[in-house]
Amino acid sequence: MTKYILALDQGTTSSRAILFDHAGHLHACAQGEFRQIFPQPGWVEHDANEIWASQLSVMRQVMHDSGVAASEVAAIGVANQRETTVLWDRATGVPVANAIVWQDRRNAAFCEQLLEEGKAELIQQKTGLVLDAYFSATKLKWLLDHVPGARARAERGELAFGTIDSWLIYKLSGAHLTDTSNASRTMLFNIYTQQWDADLLALLDIPASLLPQVVPSSGVAAHTHAELLGVSLPIAGIAGDQQGATFGQACLKPGMAKNTYGTGCFMLMNVGKKPLPSKNRLLSTVGWRLGDGPDSTDYLLEGSAFVAGAAVQWMRDGLGIIKHSSEVEALASSVPDTGGLVFVPAFAGLGAPYWDPYARGTLIGITRGTGKAHIARAALEGVAYQNVDVLSAMQKDAGIALSELRVDGGAARNDMLMQFQSDILNVPVVRPEVTETTALGAAYLAGLAVGFWSSLEEIAAQWRVARRFEPTMADDERLSRLHKWQRAVERSRDWSE
């Protein structure tokens, strides 16, 4: 009798492996960080081999430490940092260069050129995405144009492109594939036809032979090499991390929304069985596809702020004002307010709804009395303020007033931040018992495919509240704070030349 689903949660700064039981409870977890590579300002890279080594290591560690036999695992689900781009040799499996990470801004000028050529509307109409360096397509084009010999080798069919899900599945099984949720983040995939788009490939001069096969998010897609865990296991769930978290939060009906506080902040709302084009510079994206029926796909609206947990890491590693990320709440709570300080965490530009790659992090309102606790509090508040801009755009697009926001990710465990988020949004914020919802979503997708769970209704019934934060801030104070935030955002914009 299989008792567990193994979820691989490959994130921007760490790889995790988590075993979930039939009740959706976390049975065991292992985590390992890997290097962040910053070759130039605005550039962010990963070594894809290090990602694989860290993921394999934690996968073996969680099995070993938990004492669970591989034969007790029904299936594997994969969730991944999205848009990060890997290009590798099909014959040897060796990457031709470092992976270009989703945060990387090296293609901002090329995206501006496409914008000036009037290509943004074509891209949005086909992909649901805003033309931006965030997505995989221009990263892949950069690799083809700048790695010696890469374009010629690609045209000969010698190279393979993939986002991190594709890279992991290739290393796990030898198969070259991706799912609809990850494909929809490349800026090469038509979310209406659910096919790679010939016009977009031509526009960016990308050979179709590079691309992985697109499969449903839930379904047995491949089987692992038996030598990895001693038994070959089905890979049956695949989702980009934010779509996975939305599924794990059981946002299975239109109008339900969640926000993940990871390296960045990602707010997603279920909009039903058809894409909803955004008029407010949000992304329309595939949520998941369950099998092959005409109504098998759910679509989402998404707004992302590029920096959330990364602001806390910066206070730890860059400023040295905390030793461990977990200390930030106590430090921020040691002062009653920010002392007039406002922090715009635009380290990698501003995401939705601004899409300004030239914005930079801004700390404004510093006085002689400003101390490290004020900076910590302003950083946490800055993370929350960004989400007001996103939710406002989302409610305008969907025509739905949000009744509650489900939250997850590391910083969702910070009570001070969650209370401030509820106050500044003027919406209840609800934290579930299981906050590892990205991995849980991948597990649910895999378990559905192999009959470990029987239905969406069974999954929805497993979602349980741990804590609910209700808004308490007076309207005039909230509006005054938001006005100040907007002034600070304007000062951060278009800074980098």
Enumerate the known binding-site residues for glycerol: 82-83, 134, 241-242
- 471 upstream amide cis, omega within 30 of 0: no
Q: Which residues are annotated as a binding site for ATP?
A: 12-14, 263, 309, 313, 410
179 closest CA partner among 250, 88, 82: 82
Residue list for the binding site = 12-14, 16, 82-83, 134, 241-242, 263, 309, 313, 410, 414
Smallest CA-to-CA distance from 170 within 84, 96, 93, 239 is with 93
- Identify the three-state secondary structure at position 393: helix
**Any long-range contacts for 461-467 (C-beta under 8 Å, 24+ apart)?**
462/23, 462/24, 462/250, 463/249, 463/250, 463/432, 464/432, 464/433, 464/434, 465/430, 465/431, 465/432, 465/433, 466/431, 466/432, 466/433, 466/435, 467/415, 467/418, 467/430, 467/431
Closest CA to 332 of 422, 431, 414: 414
Which amino acid type is present at position 263? T
Within 11-84, strands assigned E span 14-20, 26-33, 45-46, 73-80
Instruction: Could you list the residues known to form a binding site for sn-glycerol 3-phosphate, using ranges.
Output: 12, 82-83, 134, 241
- What are 291's two structure tokens? 């099998």
Binding region for ADP: 12, 16, 263, 309, 410, 414
How wide is the angle at C-alpha 165 spanned by C-alphas 96 and 317, nearest 5°? 80
The total number of residues shown for the chain amounts to 497
* Bridge pairing between strands 465-469 and 429-432: antiparallel
Residues with Cβ < 8 Å from 90, sequence gap 6 or more? 157, 158, 159, 160, 176
Distance between CA 53 and CA 277 in Å, rounded?
39
